[in-house]
């Protein structure tokens, strides 16, 4: 009997949850499972998409655990969407031309952004806000923009506005409805949110529509015309005016669809063809709704998997409650937030001065029906599960201001109260576990939007667990000490010897693997190991960028970033870079960190390019690693008439000393040759400013969306004193910081702050300085260029292929078009690959 085949079209959040459900039910072991994914990357957390702008990488947003696909024998086809379904023959044709026969077809195609049909909507500078590729494009375009406008004041619209503001743009929000977030919150909540957002410096236009996007003669955005006759000047426009179900594939093959869109399904998520299922935002559920939230999509995924596994299951609707932090403002709604039930009553607390608005909707009998919370949503986790019941205290006592409210504990919730609406997990199910990692592993509660994590913690026994992840009960700094003290040289030894009991003998997770990998690399000189991140077990611990020693770009190509210490480069080396860029057809750009980036290399080209660069004397710039990036400099006293010290020499010395130093987060530095601060040293993790008497050392600064000026640690230092203090500072940071914690955050977190840091590394209050200096000396002595070592090692080189089973075949989805005499990713290809699936 042939093996049944399940073909899944779409691999967003819901598609991945369906695959997990198949694995949990044992179907991946008895069926062939094929996935056709339009985007160039596997499923990622679209709910947390905006966190990309606050430092989260695409790898950190990924929802696919390590070797999940390989472990479950799932065939994943990235960048190869389905283009046609033949229901009579039961086949699916992909864009690549491959044809897949199916016994069961699951459509998880999600939705696409709605762009109002206004003139100019396709102009250069217009974007949608749906995928990582969209964010990358917005981020790049914003570099040359000053003002941005967002069409849509709903959930994603406000997130997009926050992203534009974080990118430094003056930002406008245009919402056709009379208030922001009209679907989720009422008029009072909208007014509170409006005041708070305007106080942040954003311009909000409600009750008006976009009539046209205006452009210049070259077709580049210049602004918008609104329905009230006013205009908004803007260099960049983001459309976030809602989504529509992606049901065209279903229409083309004759499946039933709703009058306003959506693939019609029954309570088992079957379409009008019993062999075809539809789940998520593309589906029109049996109750007549198209659900635009991830929690209902997850429920549909479980229902479809149960039905395929011949288990009784039904999807009859879902909770539409939501809690978010938009532009730093807590916003939540639950139940009948708009009070549509007959004879319902409102209980309202409003403080316009503080931007706080709370409303509960109750029945005449006192049953809590729903509510809206703006500005203070701490009570959401308890109020939402109480919906449908009579609270143990009067409703007004639940939303009274501090001092007048009655604090309800989680014991007030019934056992069947749903704690995690994303995965429909009850209080009783949570309390069968003892730790948060166990809850996440066994029930998936807390792995969705995250709004239930605080309440879950209150329901569990008080353990004080501050562990790194579900595999380790230790923090990153504690693990660092364990590895250093015991001389551990592998992840397996660390996990088996010091992981949680239930994790020992396992594979680890996406949090602990790169974290321990970084610790092992940081301590490699001390431990006497090679430290090369591609050697043996280390290679399997890395994320995509470290795995290929290059940054992956939006179209699946990679960037080449040679180190150019202090920004100083000879004409001969400039010529080599130019020749490499010309010969391989790469895009070149001079960065703010004073080096030259080369973009557009295919993975199999990386060793060829680096062979030429290494031969010319270049080494890795570590743009892909959590390590030192650059030490920027001005020209200093050598050339500048204001300079008082040789800033270029110092920048080069420092960059060459700390190159390749693996850390909890990336490190940036700069050296200014005088107080005019042309190198912007005070915005760096460690910055140096020359004085007439030596050097001033600043620490704990960063740029980005939340900039922080560095603090002055020591003044008028000699060269030797400066280097000694930086050695100590960096090694103490690496030793004690949390995972992915920048020096700015670390300095503000540690008890005693700057004063404590000064005591430790200047005055040696803990007696650690000799050890810290010795560890830095070991790093400096043991440093080896990663790319130089890689191109001379056949085993390491074997990973640089697009397709393991066809190593000589380049990735056909990596395509480019010409722009300004160079290349850029082919936007047509990216649009097809980046189709918006939830």
> Which residue ranges are tagged as binding site for [4Fe-4S] cluster?
634, 640, 674, 678
- Distance between CA 768 and CA 457 in Å, rounded? 36
- Angle at CA 650, nearest 5°, toward 649 and 656? 90
Pair of tokens at residue 131: 């995928």
For every residue of 563-626, DSSP letters joined together read: --GGG---HHHHHHHHHHHHHHT-EEEE-TTSSEEEEEE-GGGHHHHHHHHHHTT--B--TTSS
Residue with tokens 């000026």: 709
Best CA proximity match to 222, nearest among 173, 134, 149, 164? 149
18 to each of 28, 299, 655, 753, how far by Cα in Å?
11, 9, 48, 46
- Distance between CA 387 and CA 394 in Å, rounded? 14
- Distance between CA 314 and CA 236 in Å, rounded? 45
CA-based torsion, 619, 621, 624, 626: positive or negative: positive
Pair of tokens at residue 372: 């809206």
Report DSSP state, residue 807: T
CA torsion, ordered 409, 470, 50, 587, to nearest 10 deg: 170
158 to each of 171, 197, 326, how far by Cα in Å?
11, 9, 6
801 to each of 553, 581, 797, 798, 811, how far by Cα in Å?
16, 20, 9, 7, 9
CB-neighbour burial class of residue 288 (10 A; exposed 0-12, middle 13-18, buried 19+): exposed
- Angle at CA 54, nearest 5°, toward 52 and 55? 70
CB-neighbour burial class of residue 458 (10 A; exposed 0-12, middle 13-18, buried 19+): middle
Q: 128 forms bridges with which residues in the sheet?
A: 239
Beta-carbon-side half-sphere exposure of residue 562 (alpha carbons within 13 Å):
27
Q: 214 forms bridges with which residues in the sheet?
A: 223
User: Is the separation of the CB atoms in 725 and 762 below 8 Å?
Assistant: yes
Residue with tokens 């659900």: 291
Residue with tokens 């909890």: 664
> CB under 8 Å to 23, separation ≥6 — which residues?
68, 72
Binding site members: 634, 640, 674, 678
What's the Rg (C-alpha) of the chain? 28
Binding site members for siroheme: 678
CA torsion, ordered 110, 115, 121, 125, to nearest 10 deg: -60
- Distance between CA 193 and CA 196 in Å, rounded? 5
Q: Which helix (H) or strand (E) holds 9?
A: strand 5-9
Ranges assigned E (strand) in 235-379: 236-239, 243-245, 263-264, 276-278, 283-284, 322-326, 329-335, 345-351, 356-362, 368-374
Report DSSP state, residue 797: H
Within 1-94, residue ranges assigned H as helices are 13-24, 58-61, 68-71
Best CA proximity match to 231, nearest among 254, 247, 208? 208
- Report helix, strand or coil for 755: helix
Q: Which helix (H) or strand (E) holds 544?
A: helix 544-548
């Amino acid at each position: 009997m042939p093996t049944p085949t399940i073909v899944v079209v779409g691999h967003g959040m819901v598609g991945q949850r369906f695959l997990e459900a198949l694995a949990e039910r044992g179907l991946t072991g008895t069926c062939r499972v094929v996935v056709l994914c339009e985007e160039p990357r596997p499923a990622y957390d679209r709910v947390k998409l905006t966190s990309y702008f606050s430092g989260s990488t695409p790898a950190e947003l990924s929802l696919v655990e390590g070797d999940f696909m390989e472990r479950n024998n799932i065939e994943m086809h990235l960048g190869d969407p389905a283009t046609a379904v033949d229901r009579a023959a039961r086949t699916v044709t992909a864009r690549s031309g491959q044809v897949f026969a199916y016994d069961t077809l699951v459509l998880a195609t999600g939705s696409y952004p709605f762009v109002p049909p206004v003139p100019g909507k396709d102009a250069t500078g217009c974007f949608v806000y749906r995928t990582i590729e969209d964010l990358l494009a917005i981020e790049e375009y914003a570099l040359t923009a000053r003002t941005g406008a967002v069409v849509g004041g709903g959930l994603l619209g406000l997130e997009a506005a926050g992203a534009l503001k974080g990118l430094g743009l003056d930002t406008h929000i245009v919402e056709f409805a009379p208030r922001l977030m009209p679907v989720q919150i009422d008029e009072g909540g909208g007014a509170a949110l409006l005041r708070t957002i305007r106080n942040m410096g954003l311009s909000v236009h409600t009750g008006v529509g976009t009539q046209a996007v205006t452009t210049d003669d070259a077709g580049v955005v210049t602004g918008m015309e609104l329905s009230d006759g006013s205009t908004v000047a803007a260099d960049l426009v983001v459309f976030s005016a809602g989504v529509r179900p992606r049901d065209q594939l279903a229409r083309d093959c004759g499946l039933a669809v709703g009058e306003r869109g959506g693939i019609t399904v029954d309570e088992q998520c079957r379409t009008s063809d019993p062999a075809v299922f539809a789940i998520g935002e593309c589906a029109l559920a049996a109750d007549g709704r198209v659900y635009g939230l991830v929690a209902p999509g997850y429920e549909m995924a479980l229902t479809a998997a149960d039905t395929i596994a011949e288990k009784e299951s039904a999807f009859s609707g879902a909770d539409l409650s939501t809690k978010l932090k938009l532009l730093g403002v807590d916003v939540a709604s639950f139940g009948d937030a708009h009070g549509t039930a007959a004879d319902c009553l409102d209980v309202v607390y409003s403080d316009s001065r503080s931007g706080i608005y709370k409303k509960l909707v109750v029945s005449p009998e006192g049953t809590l029906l729903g509510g809206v919370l703006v500005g203070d949503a701490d009570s959401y986790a308890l109020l939402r599960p109480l919906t449908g019941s009579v609270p143990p205290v009067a409703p007004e006592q639940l939303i009274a201001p501090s001092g007048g409210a009655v604090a309800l504990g989680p014991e007030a919730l019934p056992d069947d109260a749903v704690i995690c609406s994303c995965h429909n997990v009850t209080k009783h199910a949570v309390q069968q576990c003892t730790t948060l990692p166990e809850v996440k592993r066994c029930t998936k509660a807390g792995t969705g939007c995250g709004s239930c994590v605080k309440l879950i913690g209150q329901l569990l026994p008080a353990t004080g667990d501050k562990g790194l992840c579900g595999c380790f009960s230790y923090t990153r700094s504690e693990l660092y000490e364990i590895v250093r003290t015991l001389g551990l040289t592998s992840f397996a030894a660390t996990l088996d010897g010091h992981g949680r009991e239930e994790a020992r003998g396992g594979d680890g997770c996406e949090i602990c693997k790169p974290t321990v990998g970084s610790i092992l690399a940081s301590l490699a000189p001390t431990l006497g190991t090679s430290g090369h991140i591609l050697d043996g077990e280390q290679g399997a611990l890395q994320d995509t960028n470290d795995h290929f020693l290059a940054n992956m770009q939006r179209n699946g190509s990679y960037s080449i970033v040679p180190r150019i210490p202090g920004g100083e480069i000879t004409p001969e080396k400039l010529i080599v870079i130019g020749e490499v860029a010309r010969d391989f057809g790469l895009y070149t750009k001079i960065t703010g960190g004073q080096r030259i980036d080369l973009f557009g290399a295919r993975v199999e080209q990386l060793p060829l390019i680096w062979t030429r660069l290494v031969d010319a004397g270049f080494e890795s710039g570590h743009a892909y690693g959590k390590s030192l990036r650059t030490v920027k400099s001005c020209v200093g006293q050598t050339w500048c008439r204001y300079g008082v010290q040789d800033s270029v020499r110092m920048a080069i010395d420092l960059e060459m000393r700390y190159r390749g130093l693996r850390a909890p987060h990336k490190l940036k530095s700069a050296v200014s040759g005088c107080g005019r601060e042309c190198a912007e040293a005070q915005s760096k993790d460690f910055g140096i400013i020359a004085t007439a008497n030596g050097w001033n050392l600043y620490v704990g600064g960063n740029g980005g969306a939340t900039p922080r000026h560095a603090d002055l640690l020591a003044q008028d230092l000699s060269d030797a004193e400066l280097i000694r203090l930086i050695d100590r500072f960096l090694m103490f940071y690496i030793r004690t910081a949390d995972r992915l914690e920048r020096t700015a955050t670390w300095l503000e977190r540690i008890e005693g702050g700057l004063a404590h840091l000064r005591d430790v590394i200047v005055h040696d209050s803990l007696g650690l300085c000799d050890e810290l200096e010795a560890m830095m000396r070991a790093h400096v002595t043991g440093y080896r260029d990663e790319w130089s070592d890689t191109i001379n090692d056949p085993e390491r080189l074997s990973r640089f292929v697009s397709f393991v089973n066809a190593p000589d075949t380049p990735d056909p989805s990596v395509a480019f078009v010409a722009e300004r005499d160079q290349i850029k990713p082919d936007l047509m290809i990216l649009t097809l690959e980046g189709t918006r699936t939830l």
